[in-house]
Structure 1
Amino acid sequence: MGTEEGGAEIWRQATKTLEESLKLRSGYNLGMDFQTVWEELYQIPLESFKGPCVWRYMAAFLLGMDDKPVNKDTVNDFVFYSKLLGSLSSNHFMAELLPLPKRSKNDISDYQTVWRSVEEYHREVIPRRFALIQGTLEENSDIDLVVSYEHILSEKFIKYFGQRGSLLKAWNYRSESYALYEIRLEGGRSIRFLTTPFFGNGRISYDGLLIASEKIKEVI
């Protein structure tokens, strides 16, 4: 999970206008196939994305959890060629805390007729999103791990679940900080919640994610 999308189909690749993208999103199911969204709805081939991106680190972590080799070739194949990331037939799903694409985290200009500030947007939307997240976790017993790669989300997630969360272990790898929590849900079930550095911009490494996957497998 991250905090919000950057709207690449709108402002970077420009295959959709904001209005067109929002219309498509309004018809989304709770879960959508990653390849279908990007290649069929947004008309952007996944292999057209170059350079570092959060998807590569998601793939590295997922490969590590499945005890598969993690390197440039296996990561590229997972995301851009076999296109396994975010597949509806996979053992994982991807999510964002906030639902709307924005130019940047502090820019609400495209939605000023609805919210006067980012803070106002957050006050209205975040509680509803956490209620949706909690309901999804409680209704789907196969979910046993949530990974947050953005510190704002990590802090809000831990605060939202409050006393139902407890720290299991925390560690550093080089300059990277990780923490693993247990979150107790209604009905007596628990999940694990992993916080990591941001998936990109040189803040995380494949090796660090492999170590994280090994520590998680010790407790789930």
Structure 2
Amino acid sequence: MNGATAYLVAAAGCLIAVAGVVVAVLALRAGRRRTARAPGAPVRDPFRSTDDDADALRGDPRTLKPGDLVEIRHTSYGVRGTLRFSEGAWGWTEHLLDDAHGTRLWLSVEEDPDLELVLWTAVPETDVAPGPVELDFGGRRYRRDESGQARFTATGSTGLDPTGTVRYYDYVSADGSPLSFEAYGDSERWEVGTGERLHRAEVLIYPQATDGADDQATGRVG
């Protein structure tokens, strides 16, 4: 091989190497464009597919509304009314349920970020007031978890005005049992509820067709 031929071979090798680098860089940039999240697009929970499967089989608690039926631990309840709360960017929902025997309970639905379902039972009378960091109630010691004030909108038969405000204190015991205090509007009366956390598999939703009419009422149904 003479000198000219060797030079041409070396030059061609360099061009091929440079072309390979350019192709690799372009491929990398294209890959980044495919995986880049669009501005403002929500981040998808990597575990959401598991929830999607449960929702497809058992119904989505996030879509509950007045008139729907829900089965909890093999007991069927009708959804009488719904309260949707908002506090800044945070929100949650509470549904008033009753069964064939007239038992009334509340079901709260919240994502923080995982789906949390809590079945609440109202405590008729108590002289315990919220505020302290710790308090004793029903044989348990509870520690204050959070407190604040939120706005709500009501649909169906909740016993409240269509819109309003609520002050709340949430407590939790060492074993995870929740305790809630709520005062609606200007009321000085605290409504107290004890909660049981539900596993997703314990809740089965039966959506019902409705005509969109909501029965509004005043005075909270406890």
Q: Which category describes the TM-score, using the shorter chain as reference length?
A: under 0.3
Of structures 1 and 2, the one with the larger relative CO (CA 8 A, separation 6+) is 1
More helix by share: 1
Q: TM-score, normalised by structure 1?
A: 0.25
Name the structure where strand makes up a greater proportion of residues.
2
